[in-house]
Amino acid sequence: MTSVLDPASSAAPAASPADTVAALRATFERGVTRPLAWRRSQLERMVAMLEEHEDEWLAALAADLGKPRMEGYVADIAFVTGEIRLMLKNLRKWNRTERVRTPLVNRPGSSRRIPEPLGTVLVIAPWNYPVQLLLVPAAGAVAAGNTVVMKPSEVTAATSDLFVRLAPAYLDQDAIRVVPGGVPETTALLEQRFNHVFFTGSTAVGRVVMAAAAKHLTPVTLELGGKSPVIVDRSANLKVAAQRIAWGKWLNAGQTCVAPDYVLVDRAVEQQLIDELRRTVASFYGSDPKTSADYGRIVSSRHFDRLVALMRDGTPVVGGESDAQSRYIAPTVLTGVDPGSRIMSEEIFGPLLPVFGIDGIDEAVATIRSRPHPLALYVFAEDGRVVDDVLARTTAGGVTVNGTVLHLTNPHLPLGGVGDSGMGYYHGKESVRVFQHLKPVLRRGTRLDPPIVYPPYSERKMKLLRKAL
């Protein structure tokens, strides 16, 4: 099959994808992953793998992405251990058989929903949060009782190599395997029959994954991206808005799937917002962000070149500097952007922030509705009526009001997209449910066997059934 995944850089797996999947499937069929005790032990080992080697993980993230230690710890270590500990706390509850009501027509009897693991699943992670976006869904699959193939991104080679080295020392290799590599390895994996495929990445590659899964009628969860807009109403607290937009945008140098992609701001406060963004950049990263220890780098030269080309679609009014050797692109605010330009037709996934002046909320809503549904939507307003209006007239995977990004940090709120931005949800309980089948079971007794539903039929039986149904 044709693939648009990134070029390979990691070593090929020791076993073929077919052999790996066959071995994991055999483990599942033997019932190894069914006991809650096994699931608990593997989740605890995942936490230990992160915590006992925290410095190595943070060093790998810094080598791959220039991630500041605090960003790496919060987003790729603490986030994962927090999610896994929530799974551990609720492991028995989330895997408990659920009793549901039984209609009169099915009595005497009882009805239940039994959560069952799907089997052998594939988790394909991207490079921007290479620990979080591999381990959170993989942990959910383990908590649900599945065997798992974990495919880290070859683009973040240091982090991928660390998974390859540490996972065999901590996790049950009969049930959980890490398969490194690039296009050939990923393509070969997608040719295998899995019971579920969980992919995080671009919409373009999501289509490739879904097409491959369709050959086996394999269900998929696609956590994709898109252009997540920010609306800034004239009633907004502009200083707070600027700080929260800047934090969400330039976290990980803009390489975040739910990062603000462009801003629609009321013309009455447009210049004020830009001025506040300029002050915020200086406050966060100093007069020269290139020298800041708190600002990351672009993951590869290919992505650097793409972003520099996109920057030409507007005029930098904040930032605009770049350095190819260190893959540095300054936190940049752009104005004068043509809505039909390339930067507005693809996800930016970098530190460039186009700002557009608008004449009120109706124009903002119309702009958002004219585009594919975004993965995230952000609205800043002190006027609650504006917020309610935007929520009522727009569709997005998730929303944060008077903030950015943070809706995905609440494990009780599912994360997922709509349409081009993805399908399916995870986080918290949903990270387990996505890898389960809720098997419906109706159990009937035999002491009573009312003849009402059996032939021969009669008008009397029909009258009784009308009352019962």
Which residues are marked as active site? 223, 257
Give 173: exposed, middle or buried? Use CB within 10 Å, 0-12, 13-18, 19+: middle
Rounded to whole angstroms, the Cα distance separating 436 from 322 reads 46
The token duo for 277 is 């963004």
Distance, in Å, from the CA atom of 344 to the CA atom of 356, rounded to the nearest integer, reads 11
Q: How far is CA 106 from CA 67, 98, 348, 439, 465, in A?
A: 59, 18, 55, 18, 12
Whether the ω angle into residue 68 lies within 30 degrees of 0, i.e. cis, is no
Nearest alpha carbon to residue 305 among 288, 329, 289, 337: 329
What residue type is assigned to position 46 of the chain?
A: M
Closest CA to 397 of 264, 261, 299: 261
Burial (CB count <10 Å: 0-12, 13-18, 19+), residue 78:
middle
Could you tell me if 469 and 105 are in contact, meaning their C-beta atoms sit under 8 angstroms apart?
Answer: yes
At 304, give phi and psi (nearest 5°). Answer: -60, -50
Residue 404 to residue 252: CA distance in whole angstroms: 14
